[in-house]
Chain A
């Protein structure tokens, strides 16, 4: 835990300073998770604020310290899921956005304004984002939490309130769907190239 349960208790009692302390402790990590879940840097703060807003209004339901972090993850997952569902149409029109971004990136590269590392990072982010856009929001979030955030099955069990075996099945199916969708779309050279470039 990044904060003592005492601070959480004070925040539950309405202490604004204690709540600020919680936000400051978990903000960076939460924003990082959201950034990787939604792949929209411009909306990360907005979703992050929504997470802490929900935390503020549901803090009184928290009874023990152990469940705080899985609970915050659950709030993060729910907010990211809501965002992804709301912006599904925008996500579907990603191809036009991407091509525009790619033009800008190409211009910048031609002008030598973007260095090699930034270019590689962007390629990887775009490749993974395109790959995860091909599956449902639920698959995207589950895979990101497990494979990118590195959460264990035990942690996922607490977040999803689902048995480990059921999670394993869902993860396996999500992986298969990603591989299938990506294979069908014929995007693999760019993704693999992007991964290879970084590794």
Chain B
């Protein structure tokens, strides 16, 4: 066949597809089709059910954890208070007491 001849080729292709349709009739299902289908449906339902339970448990745990963390952040802690009452200068001075140079004694002390 000359495949450069498009018109012929298309007609041949149509004929081949038509013959294929006739050569492949609708098959009959086996006796096992319906029981196997229902087995697969039930299996999928079970896995969906377990997945749902896991998802719900996970969401509950996440919610409890979030509430716990929020409560922890909200309640002020004595020693490590988040809000300092000291001024900036006081805080700076407190942090640099060791680094401050030792001053020479005053003249009247000598």
Contacts and interface: CB of A to CB of B under 8 A. Distances in A.
* Same complex origin of A and B: yes
Interface of A: 16, 20, 23, 27-29, 31-32, 35-36, 41, 44-45, 48-49, 52-53, 56-57, 120-122, 124-125, 127-128, 131, 143, 147-150, 175, 178-179, 182-183, 188-189, 191-192, 194-195, 198-199
B23 A121 contact: yes
B19 A57 contact: no
B96 interface: no
A195 B9 CA distance: 12
Contact of B1 (A48, A52, A57, A188): A188
Contacts of B30: 45
A182 B10 CA distance: 12
Nearest to A52: B37
A14 to B, nearest CB: 11
B27 A32 contact: yes
Contacts, number: 101
A27 B33 contact: yes
B28 interface: yes
A76 B98 CA distance: 80
A175 B29 contact: no
A23 B27 contact: no
Interface residues of B, number: 32
Interface in B17-54: 17-30, 33-34, 36-38, 40-41, 44
Can you list the 6 inter-chain pairs with the closest CB atoms, starting with the nearest? A32-B26, A183-B3, A121-B23, A198-B19, A147-B17, A195-B16
Contacts of A127: 16
B37 A195 contact: no
Interface of B is mostly: helix
A199 B13 contact: no
Nearest to B6: A179
B11 to A, nearest CB: 10
A125 B23 contact: yes
Nearest to B38: A16
A175 B25 CA distance: 23
A65 to B, nearest CB: 23
A175 B23 CA distance: 21
Given A20-B34, A23-B37, A194-B19, A189 B24 contact: no
Contacts of B40: 49, 53
Contact of A35 (B1, B14, B26): B26
A20 B6 CA distance: 47
